A and B are shown apart, each in its own frame.
Chain A
């Protein structure tokens, strides 16, 4: 039912827009005509410039002082036709004429005067008007002619003076140029420079006209009030509008790509230049690039569509919406423009910046650079940006505000804190918001500080991870005791932690060594981890890696995330697994993802059993501090065979694994509230 309504509404939006001739002209006809026109214009321009510089004849006046010298100059200029294809038309004039006037009246492009001295050759004076294009070009040509003349005279002099001139004149060495760039790479580079611009423009062209039409356009036409008399929810209305805008953005991209592609094929087949290397050119090399680009553009269209709708929903009228779109267009163009700047290369940091990451990725794809890790980060961060934009769009704007509100002036991102109800439980939407904020702030601010100040950055990141969920919960007046599980821990649970920590440490060490054997490349993850831990000194490391995560990460994961989910109608088992997986994914590398999942599951169990965050915080504290301790006490590590080893014999694996599991089981038996040793005794007493 829900889907059916959205589909019906979507159908309505699409039919409505397709029947609007203005939109269709902008979206279909313009790109279809635009590219051929741009191409034609640039062809005409280049050919006319070429014609101008080669075929044009320049009028040069020679001040006639002595007949012999004037003849000499005339001959030099005439020879230039053969040597350089320079066309000069020479005339003689008398000395003492107003040279400037002659030049300004365009009678001549250049005047050459000479002064006979005692030397063998006269000195020359060249009069020109460099502010005039033709005169300027002519001067460059004449300079060249005179330079050649001078070179020839020097050559002749040397030839006469030195015996072995020809030998000396020989080039001492040769330079051979070999290029490894394939024709595909060269072409890809060209496309890579154009494509980000084209994509940005076509996505925006499709999205913004339609976004205005379905938002303030509907309001201005008066159909929005009709629409909200229908039994549809706010979200259904927003989502159908959002999909309509996204579809048209993609439609526009398709049209643009087709037009560009057809143009490309035409140019390829008609221009002589292209034909010379058509033989070895493999178009198939670009197929993965194009496919990946399509995926990223689909995501990006959704992002831009949500962005456009957010902007347009704040507007009061179509006119205002148009004005608000201008800065958006500038931002998009800047993003596309920055991608072609030298030195801006797609790295992890840029991969997180919306718009720029997409344009850089498109450029890289056509330059045939494929880095799966970076591509994944761009996809992932674009998805997060899109989610945030959609979330804001559906949560911030209610149909009532759009229809009856005062436009941007009545906009409120959040409910005022005063109006919040006491003791709220956050929703799934709040989780999305908190984690998106956390991700963005910590990767930008934290990432920047890590780059700049190194170790301090990790402390800042932890601070952000702590502050975002806690402040968010404070703002919405959440039920802190419930959400963050602020219960007094029991003695048996705290004792149980000691067994769990030692058990999980042994199991994880075995797991890591096992992973090393299967995936040797994973060891780089571990090395970078050791580097972080080893970089700060023992006490700071203990503080930043031991204590801070035990507070911050617990507040975010076992606190906000687990605390919200446990109040929802989700099986508790699923809640535990989700918390563990999100916690593992947050560590952002494969090695940690695997063993943190195991640890996360144990921690989920502990908070489920004890209902106290202090228990998992204690676990976290001991676990992390122990890692720091090992990093700074290599002597100790060497003495204990278990820690010193990288690989274990099968027999050892079996022994250690048994010890680990026994420890875990003991932890379970000591602390469990239903099946544990101490729980049973309690029950019997009752």
Chain B
């Protein structure tokens, strides 16, 4: 289980004023990328994080995955026995994080990479070999597992990337737009993967711009806009509240209500 408690992240933006009077002055402006966000995602649940571009989704997910530290509030991570994990490094052992920015080491093969990762996660070599064999079968990677990653296709790379998240069998998956730019077959593979892991009792958090996918997949949806929560509930609850019959329109309605233009 993962819980966000009043989480905030502040950034400092440099702005160059080149007005007539101010000359070339640089001023710093502080703004909240994420502002006082709270929610929780239980085991066996898929929570969708939705929001327009620049809403703060990626920053929020990075904080949840312990890649960034929040300025305010806290992220609480619990293992399967509901023991809270407080150590920052230890937290990462319970989380599998995947985003468009998590690229793989091109000069390694998938197998070499997985072996290296299991050493870092502290998995015994025999156990690691077993897991790699298992992952190889599940993700159908035997054809390319020993090739260097730079030689793989986009779909194969994405599968290798999922394998990366799987090696330490985490309890929580955090996926930032995992299906972005993938063809139907590859993105279906990922969607199915998330569904299966949910059935295995794992927590899945994910952000996407594909509303149909979210409607089909998510148990709960957390909608964020300008760093703040604007809605939370099951897809059907949200649709009901806005009087729409699909999530795409719900999204547009909610953003419009906040005074923003839709995407």
Chain B, residue nearest A16 (CB): B107
* B105 contacts A400, C-beta separation under 8 Å: no
Question: How many Å lie between the Cα of A190 and that of B234 in the bound state?
Answer: 81
Question: How many Å lie between the Cα of A221 and that of B149 in the bound state?
Answer: 13
* B107 contacts A400, C-beta separation under 8 Å: no
The interface bits of chain A over 268-295 (1 if a CB of B lies within 8 angstroms of the residue's CB, else 0) are 0000000000000000000000000000
Partner of A19 from the list B88, B95, B97, B107 (CB cut-off 8 Å) is: B107
Q: B110-125: which have CB < 8 Å to A?
A: 112, 116-117, 119-122
Question: How many Å lie between the Cα of A223 and that of B106 in the bound state?
Answer: 9
Partner of A231 from the list B62, B90, B103 (CB cut-off 8 Å) is: B90
Partner of A226 from the list B69, B103, B121 (CB cut-off 8 Å) is: B103
Task: Bin the interface of chain B by size.
Answer: 20 to 34
Chain B, residue nearest A222 (CB): B103
Question: How many Å lie between the Cα of A567 and that of B36 in the bound state?
Answer: 36
B104 at the interface (CB under 8 A from A): yes
Least CB distance from B250 to A in Å reads: 31
If over half of A's interface residues share one DSSP class (helix, strand or loop), that class is named, otherwise mixed; here it is helix
Question: How many Å lie between the Cα of A527 and that of B127 in the bound state?
Answer: 70
* B68 contacts A230, C-beta separation under 8 Å: no
Q: B49-91: which have CB < 8 Å to A?
A: 62, 65, 67-69, 88-91
Least CB distance from B100 to A in Å reads: 8
A12 at the interface (CB under 8 A from B): yes
Least CB distance from B23 to A in Å reads: 19
A63 at the interface (CB under 8 A from B): no
* B120 contacts A223, C-beta separation under 8 Å: no
B209 at the interface (CB under 8 A from A): no
Chain B, residue nearest A403 (CB): B67
Chain B, residue nearest A221 (CB): B103
Question: How many Å lie between the Cα of A225 and that of B103 in the bound state?
Answer: 8
The interface bits of chain A over 404-416 (1 if a CB of B lies within 8 angstroms of the residue's CB, else 0) are 1010011000000
Chain B, residue nearest A229 (CB): B97
* B92 contacts A231, C-beta separation under 8 Å: yes
* B65 contacts A229, C-beta separation under 8 Å: yes
Least CB distance from A225 to B in Å reads: 5
Instruction: Please give, as numbers and ranges, the residues of chain B lying within 8 Å of A403 by CB-CB distance.
Output: 67
Chain A, residue nearest B164 (CB): A226
Stretch with Cβ within 8 A of B (4 or more), from A1-9, A421-429, A584-592, A604-612: A1-9
Least CB distance from B85 to A in Å reads: 11
B139 at the interface (CB under 8 A from A): no
Instruction: Please give, as numbers and ranges, the residues of chain B lying within 8 Å of A4 by CB-CB distance.
Output: 119
Least CB distance from A27 to B in Å reads: 16
Partner of A406 from the list B14, B88, B90, B99 (CB cut-off 8 Å) is: B14
Question: How many Å lie between the Cα of A219 and that of B88 in the bound state?
Answer: 22
Question: How many Å lie between the Cα of A15 and that of B116 in the bound state?
Answer: 11
Q: A368-427: which have CB < 8 Å to B?
A: 400, 403-404, 406, 409-410
Instruction: Please give, as numbers and ranges, the residues of chain B lying within 8 Å of A539 by CB-CB distance.
Output: none
Instruction: Please give, as numbers and ranges, the residues of chain A lying within 8 Å of B95 by CB-CB distance.
Output: 229
> Known contacts A230-B117, A400-B67: does B12 contact A410 (CB below 8 Å)?
yes
Least CB distance from A210 to B in Å reads: 14
Q: A184-242: which have CB < 8 Å to B?
A: 221-223, 225-226, 228-233
Question: How many Å lie between the Cα of A111 and that of B157 in the bound state?
Answer: 80
* A409 contacts B14, C-beta separation under 8 Å: yes
* A225 contacts B104, C-beta separation under 8 Å: no
> Known contacts A12-B105, A20-B107, A409-B14: does B89 contact A231 (CB below 8 Å)?
yes
The interface bits of chain A over 453-467 (1 if a CB of B lies within 8 angstroms of the residue's CB, else 0) are 000000000000000
Instruction: Please give, as numbers and ranges, the residues of chain A lying within 8 Å of B119 by CB-CB distance.
Output: 4-5, 8
* A400 contacts B92, C-beta separation under 8 Å: no
Instruction: Please give, as numbers and ranges, the residues of chain A lying within 8 Å of B112 by CB-CB distance.
Output: 15
Least CB distance from A244 to B in Å reads: 14
* B105 contacts A223, C-beta separation under 8 Å: yes
Chain B, residue nearest A19 (CB): B107
Instruction: Please give, as numbers and ranges, the residues of chain A lying within 8 Å of B117 by CB-CB distance.
Output: 230
Instruction: Please give, as numbers and ranges, the residues of chain A lying within 8 Å of B193 by CB-CB distance.
Output: none
B102 at the interface (CB under 8 A from A): yes
B101 at the interface (CB under 8 A from A): yes
* A231 contacts B120, C-beta separation under 8 Å: yes
Instruction: Please give, as numbers and ranges, the residues of chain A lying within 8 Å of B14 by CB-CB distance.
Output: 406, 409
Q: Quick one: which of B14, B90, B93, B106 has the most chain A CB within 10 A?
A: B106
Question: How many Å lie between the Cα of A117 and that of B98 in the bound state?
Answer: 102
Chain B, residue nearest A406 (CB): B14
B39 at the interface (CB under 8 A from A): no
B210 at the interface (CB under 8 A from A): no
Question: How many Å lie between the Cα of A18 and that of B69 in the bound state?
Answer: 34
Question: How many Å lie between the Cα of A363 and that of B101 in the bound state?
Answer: 49
Question: How many Å lie between the Cα of A233 and that of B66 in the bound state?
Answer: 11
* A404 contacts B68, C-beta separation under 8 Å: yes
Least CB distance from A118 to B in Å reads: 82
Q: Quick one: which of B88, B90, B102 has the most chain A CB within 10 A?
A: B102
> Known contacts A19-B107, A400-B68, A409-B14: does B116 contact A12 (CB below 8 Å)?
yes
B31 at the interface (CB under 8 A from A): no
Give 13 CB contacts A-B under 8 Å.
A5-B119, A8-B119, A16-B107, A222-B101, A225-B103, A226-B102, A228-B67, A229-B67, A231-B91, A231-B120, A403-B67, A404-B62, A409-B14
Could you tell me which B residues sit within 8 Å of A by CB distance? 12, 14, 62, 65, 67-69, 88-93, 95, 97, 99, 101-108, 112, 116-117, 119-122, 164
9 cross-chain pairs, A with B, having the tightest CB-CB distances, nearest first: A222-B103, A19-B107, A231-B92, A226-B102, A229-B97, A8-B119, A225-B101, A231-B93, A231-B89
- What 18 additional pairs, Cβ within 8 angstroms, besides A226-B104, A229-B67? A5-B119, A5-B120, A15-B112, A16-B105, A221-B103, A223-B104, A225-B67, A225-B99, A226-B103, A226-B164, A229-B65, A229-B102, A231-B91, A231-B93, A231-B120, A232-B89, A400-B68, A404-B68
